[in-house]
Amino acid sequence: MSAPPPRPSSDPAPTATPDKLKTWRVGTLTYTKGELAVLFSWLLWGDFAWAIRDRSVTTVLQLMLRKFEVTDTVAGLLVGTLPASIGLILGPIVSYQSDRHRGPRGRRIPYLFFSAPLAAISIVGLGLSPVIGQILHHALGAHSPGYFPSVVLVLALWWAVFDFATTITNAVFVALINDVVPAAVIGRFYGLFRAVSLLVGIGFNYWLLGKAEAHYLWIFIAVGAIYGLGVVSMCLKVREGDYPPPPPAHGKNGTAAFFRAAKIYFKECFTHPYYLWFFAAFNLAMLASTPVNLFSVFFAKSLNMSMDTYGGYIAAMYVISLTLTWVLGSLADRFHPLRVGMVSIGLYCLATLCGGFFATTPATFGLALLAHGVLGGAYFTGAAALGQRLLPHATFAQFMSASGIVGGVLNIITPWIVGRALDLSHHNYRLTYFFSSGVAFVALGCLAMVHRHWRRLGGDTNYTPP
């Protein structure tokens, strides 16, 4: 018997609604209400591990960079440009291969099994960097650039390994959710997904951030262990469905096959205006919060705000956002993530513009930080399922990786520009809010263009991705 043909992107299975027996379907997977609850539980456990990594590692690294006297430009390059550069190269390769991989454990989970332990090891390595840097400093003797530069070099190396591993994880985890969570409930799932992340953020910032400068090693050891064990255990419990056979290999020669695949990849992803508008809108909206996030710790320190107080503001921001997660997820399912995203990014644009003018004292900075976090978080929650609702289902990871190329270019350039502007302005960190507001304004215009194309392609009732 011949293999079944690949399912077209307009196949209704991924978007089916519950039938009279209360079952949900996505691809070849069918869930009862209880089975859906079990699936959500394991995915949210993986999200818990992911959130601990996301909410802690970068922030603690920023504190370490400040401790070892790194300039804003170098900090921007390490925290923003380096991850974007790795993602620009690695993300498309992993996503393209993952869409076409077929194995006993599925097409996503094998990549998570590889990347999660590597990320866990690199997190512990970051914590040990001052010790390793001191050993390197003594070993080089007269040729050493100094203790601080030696530590920063080690930090940069472990950070590169960390970014390599997390690029793989980030590309594949989102695609796994797309493959196993029915589209009829994906907005509410992302509401819960966001809630878990916020709860982790509340706990870390309220109880641990103030202790991070003195106890970074133990924090990194704990985060590495939880992250590695959490993602691996999730992979053991979540089951992927069956997929149509992948397209045939492009030629026998490895080099020829690679260039043939690259040609198809860029033709499919970058020749339709609708996808180009989507890539611009999606990445600019994601980028809007980056200038503020990259330097908010430095901004707080420039105003002599203690890390305990700063952590309290972050925790309060997460508490407010937590109360909105289910509402925003439900609104996204009812009115579409595109509409929710447009409203929230418009409000974010106005809030950060006000922050740029008025964040001049610890109190006004705290208010600006709250507005930035709550409204930026509203976009991330309300528009979390934007890619799943607009991109072709069968090649979702491929299109998301193409979006990642655009995002990678933007994230390579932006941290350097912002960091350089801050150094030249003698660390006027209010500029970060103006940068964020400007990016959000452009993102809103691009989202409006996506909405225009989306309506022409069927809108609410009959949308089919081109």
In a domain, 413, yes or no: yes
Average pLDDT, the chain: 89
Q: How many CA atoms lie within 13 A of 79 on its CB side?
A: 29
Write out pLDDT tens, residues 124-154.
999 999 999 999 999 999 999 999 999 999 9
Residue 19 pLDDT exceeds 60:
no
Residue 319 pLDDT exceeds 60:
yes
pLDDT value of position 20:
52
Write out pLDDT tens, residues 37-78.
999 999 999 999 999 999 899 989 988 998 898 988 888 889
In a domain, 90, yes or no: yes
**Average of pLDDT values for 83-96?**
87
**In the numeric block, which tokens belong to residue 295?**
């330097």
pLDDT value of position 274:
94
In a domain, 267, yes or no: no
pLDDT value of position 453:
95
Write out pLDDT tens, residues 254-291.
677 778 878 888 898 999 999 999 999 999 999 999 99
Write out pLDDT tens, residues 360-388.
999 999 999 999 999 999 999 999 889 98
Write out pLDDT tens, residues 424-447.
999 999 999 999 999 999 999 999
Rounded Cα–Cα distance for residues 169 and 1 (Å): 36
* Tally of structural domains, the chain: 1
In a domain, 222, yes or no: yes
In a domain, 263, yes or no: no
The confidence band for 17, taking pLDDT boundaries of 50, 70 and 90, is very low
Nearest C-alpha neighbor of 224 from the set 117, 314, 351, 140: 117
Residue 250 pLDDT exceeds 60:
no
In a domain, 279, yes or no: yes
Rounded Cα–Cα distance for residues 304 and 293 (Å): 18
Nearest C-alpha neighbor of 62 from the set 269, 277, 235, 212: 212
Write out pLDDT tens, residues 152-186.
999 999 999 999 999 999 889 989 998 999 988 88
pLDDT value of position 142:
92
Residue 395 pLDDT exceeds 90:
no
In a domain, 15, yes or no: no
Instruction: Report the 3 state secondary structure along the chain.
Output: CCCCCCCCCCCCHHHCCCCCCCCEEECCEEECHHHHHHHHHHHHHHHHHHHHHHHHHHHHHHHHHHHCCCCHHHHHHHHHHHHHHHHHHHHHHHHHHHHHCCCCCCCCHHHHHHHHHHHHHHHHHHHCHHHHHHHHHHHHHHHCCCHHHHHHHHHHHHHHHHHHHHHHHHHHHHHHHHHHCCHHHHHHHHHHHHHHHHHHHHHHHHHHHHHHHHHHHHHHHHHHHHHHHHHHHHHHHCCCCCCCCCCCCCCCCHHHHHHHHHHHHHHHHHCCHHHHHHHHHHHHHHHCCHHHHHHHHHHHHHCCCCHHHHHHHHHHHHHHHHHHHHHHHHHHHHHCHHHHHHHHHHHHHHHHHHHHHHCCCHHHHHHHHHHHHHHHHHHHHHCCCHHHHHCCCCCHHHHHHHHHHHHHHHHHHHHHHHHHHHHHCCCCCCHHHHHHHHHHHHHHHHHHHHHHHHHHCCHHHHCCCC
In a domain, 328, yes or no: yes
* Domain CATH number, residue 288: 1.20.1250.20
Residue 15 pLDDT exceeds 50:
no
Residue 4 pLDDT exceeds 70:
no
Q: Which domain holds residue 106?
A: 28-242+272-462
Q: Please indicate whether residue 240 or residue 253 has the higher confidence score (pLDDT).
A: 240
pLDDT value of position 257:
73
Percent of the chain with pLDDT over 90: 63
User: pTM here?
Assistant: 0.73
